[in-house]
A = this chain, B = another copy of it.
Amino acid sequence: MTLGALADALGGRLVGDASTLIDQVATLSGATSGRISFLAHAKYAAQLKQTAASAVLLRAADSAHCNVAHIIVDDPYVAFARVSQLLNPQQPTQKGVHPSAVIAADAIIHPSCRIDPHVVVSSGAVLHEGVWIGSGSHVGENVTLGAHTRLYPNVVIYAGCQLGERVVLHANVVIGADGFGIANEAGVWIKIPQIGGVRIGDDVEVGASTTIDRGAIEDTVIEEGVKLDNQIQIGHNCFVGAHTAMAGCVAVAGSARIGRHCSIGAAALILGHLEIADHTRISAATVVSRSIHTAGTYTGLFPMDEHAAWTKNAAHLRRLAQYAERVQALEARLAKLEKTHG
């Protein structure tokens, strides 16, 4: 594409030759001729001057420091996403059912679907237009997959789950396995049948090896536009509001209700049966142990230190309550002394 066409598509202001051809995105430091890069964070500003990119996406304030062609935009990272989508369009799906796939006689499969080798599509499943099922995936009974939804290889969807349109499930994702519902009777665990399902909205993307459990009674719900990274665990009956994003290895215990437009950092843990307000940000490795009713950023992680320093501090941490009492006692004693002699 030409630089002019890209600037038009972005609605940005081009500084440079509109006829320059751009064939791919690149980092500032790794770019070569024909590549377009971006400057979104000040820490990479030094790389701007040395870049060999043919063009850069940047903010107006950085224009003066740029020696190559550039497109001025409000948000260079968003512009970069759009340019990369334009330069890397999804390949059109080849339609057709591989002969090794095992398809139930009563499954309804739109003729535009692509079903790869060794797939199983079970009884009652409905696959809408343009669905692509990667090799080795299992689509359970009565599952519905909305138009243009894509399963990468070896995904498993249990019976009865409902997915929206343009949903992407990466390899080895499991949707709808039984929630962890057990009751203890005299020391022995009794299983509670998990009769709810999972409902996933449009435009949800789920990273590799993430698991989303089915509900115990009612459904687990993932609203539209949610983005989940790899190896996340969503417990039964959770609700994840629209456009919330979670980084890798987050765990959400059962029946948690997470608002819309939240950001959950890597390896955070959300305990069960609590609520998180819309637009809340949870830092990485933080344990959310109570409901959050006011949006904001919440954090709780033990600061890393050299091991010897940590050992000392950790030992005192276990006596923190004693130190608190000693400070209080000191204050009382000192006040008494000050009263007499101050």
Contacts and interface: CB of A to CB of B under 8 A. Distances in A.
Interface in A234-266: 235, 243, 245, 247-249, 251, 253, 261, 266
A158 B233 CA distance: 22
A327 B319 CA distance: 13
A112 interface: no
A26 B237 CA distance: 13
Interface string A20-59: 0000111100100000000000000000000000000000
Given A153-B120, A248-B253, A288-B304, A209 B174 contact: yes
Contacts of A134: 138
Nearest to A263: B184
Contacts of A324: 316, 319, 323
Interface stretch (A11-19, A60-68, A75-83): A75-83
Number of copies: 3
Contacts of A27: 217-218
A264 to B, nearest CB: 12
Which of A98, A312, A317, A319: most chain B Cβ within 10 A? A317
Interface stretch (A1-9, A124-132, A190-198): A190-198
Contact of A299 (B78, B208, B311): B311
B287 A287 contact: no
Contact of A217 (B25, B266, B317, B331): B25
B231 A231 contact: yes
B305 A189 contact: no
A300 B296 contact: no
A248 B303 contact: no
11 contacts: A30-B218, A81-B183, A85-B192, A136-B138, A170-B177, A233-B249, A269-B284, A289-B301, A296-B306, A302-B302, A337-B337
- Going nearest first, the 7 A-B pairs with the smallest beta carbon separation are A300-B304, A156-B171, A177-B208, A138-B153, A297-B307, A88-B193, A81-B183
